[in-house]
Structure formats: C-alpha cells, structure tokens
Structure 1
Amino acid sequence: MIMNLLATLLAALVTLPIGFIWYNPKVFGTVWMRESGMTEEKAKGANMVKVFGLTILFSFMIAFMLNQIVIHQVGAVQLAGGDPAKALPSFHAFMEDYKDAHRSFGHGVLHGVIAGIFFALPLIAINSLFERKSWKYILINAGYFIVSLGIMGGIICAWK
C-alpha cells in the first residue's frame, strides 16, 4: 500500500504549529483579526476542544487526499485496478523501475504548494468575495494553506 498512515497523520498535525505561527499577533494574527472581524472576546468564547478536534479531522481529510496528489505511484496503482496483487506483470515491472521516483520532500512541497494555489486559494477567494472580505484576508488565509499544504505534501511524499 502506498499511503503511509503515520505520515498522513503527522502531515495533518503539522497544520497546528503552522497555524500558531501564522496567526500569531507578531506575524499575521493582528491583521487577520481586524480583517475577519474577530475579537478577543469572540476568540475566548470558542469551544477550543471542538475547534482543534475538527481542525485535526479536516486536516487529516486534506492529508488523505494529498497522498493522491503528491505520490505519483498512486496513479499506477489506480490504473491497475487498485489491487497490486491482481495486476499484470507489466505493472510490477513498472513499479520496480519507478518505485521511488519523485519521492522526496521537495517534490511533495512542490505539489502541495500547487494544490494550495490552485485549490485552496480559489476556494477561499470565492467564499471571501461573496462575504465581502478584503484581499488581505484572502491572502492571509490562502497563504496559510499554501504553506501548510506544501509542508504536508513534503512529509507525505518523503516518508516511505
């Protein structure tokens, strides 16, 4: 199996420290609070167990899908019907030739960043435009996901 559950879980958890840094008042936190309309009172009134629990769940869902994007060998397994044991000999020869091709941290970062730019940014921008949020708000949130998806992709791709 190509997906490494431990790498996927670690990739999901990495969003938390990135968020702590990204949304820190000394980085983008103050601007984000102003642009989002968040106040200290609202922030203190949140159920943080729920917020962090759901953040980890949603981050795991993202990491799960990143496996399909950053590991090219997944496509070969899908072409073989999803079960390598039932695949033709040509599949096994292909996988032997290309077993670790493009399996590096840097390659995963590249594909994670591309996913951030072409998936996260448009999703955030579309909602934010309808909510009449500023471009600062859009770029701060999209930037967080571009960085997070890059690091997540690197972890997933490099950890065999």
Structure 2
Amino acid sequence: MEMNFLAILVAAVSALVVGFIWYNPKVFGNAWMQAAEMTEDKMKGANMAKIFILAFIFAVLLSMSLMPIVNHQIGAFSLAQGELGVLPSYDAFMADYGNEFRTFKHGAFHGVIAGIFIALPILGTNALFERKSAKYIFINTGYWIVTMAVMGAIICGWQ
C-alpha cells in the first residue's frame, strides 16, 4: 500500500474550497466575523499569500494524518513492516481485502467521526480558554467536520 500523493493534494485543496464556501459572507462568514471578533480592518492588514500557503501546507499534513484513519488497509501494511520485511501472506491478504471499505462514503463517514472526536475537542478547548462563544465553536468545528468528511472521502475513495 502506498500513499496516494495526488489524493492527498486534492484533499488538501478541498479544505481551501470548503473554507471559501463556508466562510463566505452569504454562508457563515458574517456570523464567524462577529463570533471571532474579527473586523474588516484586521482582515485588511493580513498577508493573504502567506495565510493561504500555510493553510495549504497544514491541509496537506491533515490529509496525510487522515489516511490511516480512513484507509484500514494501512493498518495491515504497518503490521507487515517488521524485521522480516513484507511476507507473501501480506500480498495474499491485500489481494483478498485490498479494496474493502475503499469508498467515498466510507471515507466521508470516518472524516466526520474524526472531525467530531478530534477537531471539536481541540477547537472547543481553545475557544473556552479564549472566552469565545458556542457559536464560534460550532461555526469553526462545523467547517472542520465538513472539511474532514470531504478529505476523507477523497483519500479513501480515490484509487
């Protein structure tokens, strides 16, 4: 099993696309600005190239970390990497089960679960200490749940 770098890159781009839609003023953008205490003046002073480049790099890292969550076969691959190397039994196993649960739907499901059980606790904890509202938590966590669902679908379903 190899890491599909094209799927990882497309999944990373999807985070930017979902963010463009999610934080659009016609969707959650205005509500987010209010909840985040963001102003037009703060936004004008930003280096957008730096922000988008770093956001893309972070999305690539997230895509790579989602791969073992959404692709169960990576667990078998990691077990096969012992001192003896990959045995013929691994090839037989992958011939039988290499495409099991490799669907967009399955990846989206695990992406949603990861969003709820990973992104929500992290963002929620930060927001509590930053004294942000529940609205702020739900807007940002909602974005990550949707984004991780899309990323998981791409990573798992892309073959």
Q: TM-score, normalised by structure 2?
A: 0.96
Offset of 1:88 from its aligned partner? Answer: 2.1
1:66 CA displacement: 0.7
Mean Cα displacement is larger for which, 140-149 or 22-31?
A: 22-31
**What's the counterpart of residue 68 of structure 1?**
68
Q: Which residue of 2 aligns with 1:132?
A: 131
Matched, 1:51 2:51: yes
The amino acid that maps onto 2:63 is A
The code of the aligned residue for 1:145 comes to: W
User: CA separation in 2, counterparts of 1:107 and 1:31?
Assistant: 31
Structure 1: where are the runs of 5+ without partners? none
Q: Distance in 2 between matches of 1:13 and 1:20?
A: 11
Partner of 2:28: 28
> Structure 1: how far apart are the matches of 2:156 and 2:65?
12
Task: Provide the rounded CA distance (Å) in 2 between the counterparts of 1:129 and 1:70.
Answer: 29
Q: Which residue of 2 aligns with 1:81?
A: 81
User: 1: CA distance between counterparts of 2:68 and 2:61?
Assistant: 12
Alignment correspondent of 2:111: 112
DSSP 3-state at the match of 2:26: coil
Q: State the AA in 2 paired with 1:43.
A: M
Alignment of 1:84-99 (within 5 A): 86-99=85-98
What SS does structure 1 have at the residue aligned with 2:81? coil
What amino acid does structure 1 have at the position aligned with 2:122? L
Is the alpha carbon distance of 1:14 and 1:82 closer, same or farther for their aligned partners in structure 2, counting shifts above 3 Å? farther
**Structure 1 residues 28-72: Cα deviation after superposition (integer angstroms, max 9, x where no partner):** 111110110100111111000110000000000000111111011
Structure 1 residue 12 and structure 2 residue 5: aligned? no
RMSD, aligned α-carbons: 1.4
* Contiguous gaps of at least 5 residues in structure 2: none
3-state DSSP of counterpart to 1:26: helix
Aligned residues: 159
**Cα distance in 2, alignment partners of residues 59 and 82 from structure 1:** 30
Q: Secondary structure at the match of 1:87?
A: coil
Q: Distance in 2 between matches of 1:51 and 1:14?
A: 16
Q: Which runs of 4+ in 1 moved over 3 A?
A: none
Give me the whole-angstrom Cα distance separating, in 2, the residues matched to 1:92 and 1:28: 47
SS of residue in 2 equivalent to 1:53 = helix
Deviations 1:95-135 (A, max 9, x none): 11101000000000000110000000100000000000000
Are the aligned partners of 1:2 and 1:73 in contact in 2 as well (CA < 8 Å)?
no
